[in-house]
Structure 1
């Protein structure tokens, strides 16, 4: 049986990494980044801070020279990819979580923390005694669905969704172009992403863990 085509929408450099991993798994993967990551001007806030809360590797790729002011502050990263980017930028990583930042925030001792984030981000609910200063350092600039991607979406396929912003934008673009949802299967990195994609798709499933490896394992099952 010929596997369904897999469409990867995440921005670079993650798109290429996911496609390479998908190809190793025998999937017919296609790259169509729907976003371009760009730096946003920001000013370093006054500390001191007990730790940096980092929910994306893009913080360290696009944060700019202002990051150097916080090199002595340990990083609490949302996952292994973010931790790797932090270390590559010269930061020490004190914690690597999974399943989003909120579970990490719930375990924080009282103190003052710096959250570096993108424009599209989940609202965090800290426990008593935890203060979080948030600075936006990057933005995901959306792109329209290309004619090549639109043609591919006319057949049955599986689409990977790595973020809530991607889910919203992809759904809006399908609506704008009149692309039928009942031929498109969605593989989502987290439950929030699935909810933001809306209804009417052929199927929506969520990875068991919030990692690219688990998302691709789900895609293998959905493409067969």
Structure 2
């Protein structure tokens, strides 16, 4: 297919999954994970007194380790389908699956006390009346520098898929420090906040109509063909 290649920078295993989906759509997709996820040592509170678990990433269940085991009696309120699938694979029951970020999930919670399992970097949440959140950090995401092969591709022009605000900020910083012209790069963003964190000056900024990998790749396909 003619047009610019699509660069996927999210960590594994999501990187390979997105690249495979993109290639199945006919997109010239190339994976360059700029993040790696590592488990952290953490202590789980007793599940007694909690109404449920709040999870904003599948990494909670991929990297939570054996400490998760006593919490399996709590229903999971997941940010999206991938997180819900990871919860089920880890032996949890899913009570709610969101589609537009974690805040809308919180707003639909019944009154009660919930345990939020999260990464070191996480979105702040507003707690509705009657909803109490207690947080445990179970994993960390480490940013990596731009490899020379990716720098070379970006200098020639590319579309870059951005799945998180942290990815957007890191990518903007790395390309600036590497003296890569942002006007050669278009970005496809999963949500408006991600576009805001990427900043201005890109060749084009596109925002997916919904927070799913399918919607992001449909946007990327259009951008690859027209930018």
Instruction: Check whether TM > 0.5.
Output: yes
Q: Distance in 1 between matches of 2:157 and 2:176?
A: 17
Query: Does residue 25 of structure 1 match 2:25?
Result: yes
Range that drifts further, 44-53 or 23-32: 44-53
Number of the residue aligned with 2:3: 3
Q: Deviations over 1:104-142 (max 9, x none)?
A: 111222110011011111100011111000111111111
Q: Would the aligned equivalents of 1:112 and 1:132 in 2 still touch at CA under 8 Å?
A: yes
Number of the residue aligned with 1:130: 131
Deviation at 1:155, TM superposition (A): 1.3
Q: Deviations over 1:126-175 (max 9, x none)?
A: 11111000111111111100000000000121000001111111011011
Does the residue aligned with 2:95 lie in a helix, a strand or coil?
strand
Gaps of 5+ in 2: none
Number of the residue aligned with 2:210: 209
Gaps of 5+ in 1: none
Range that drifts further, 15-24 or 45-54: 45-54
Q: Would the aligned equivalents of 1:114 and 1:132 in 2 still touch at CA under 8 Å?
A: yes
Q: Distance in 2 between matches of 1:69 and 1:63?
A: 12
Q: Would the aligned equivalents of 1:3 and 1:27 in 2 still touch at CA under 8 Å?
A: no
Q: Deviations over 1:30-68 (max 9, x none)?
A: 110000000011111244210101111000000011100
**CA RMSD, 1 decimal:** 0.9
Number of the residue aligned with 1:119: 120
Does the residue aligned with 2:86 lie in a helix, a strand or coil?
helix
Q: Distance in 2 between matches of 1:108 and 1:23?
A: 38
Number of the residue aligned with 1:98: 99
Number of the residue aligned with 2:224: 223
1:139-218 equivalence runs, <5 A: 139-218=140-219
Number of the residue aligned with 1:58: 59
Q: Distance in 2 between matches of 1:94 and 1:147?
A: 44
Deviation at 1:3, TM superposition (A): 2.2
Please list every run of at least 4 consecutive aligned residues from structure 1 whose deviation after the TM superposition is greater than 4 angstroms: none
Q: Would the aligned equivalents of 1:76 and 1:94 in 2 still touch at CA under 8 Å?
A: yes
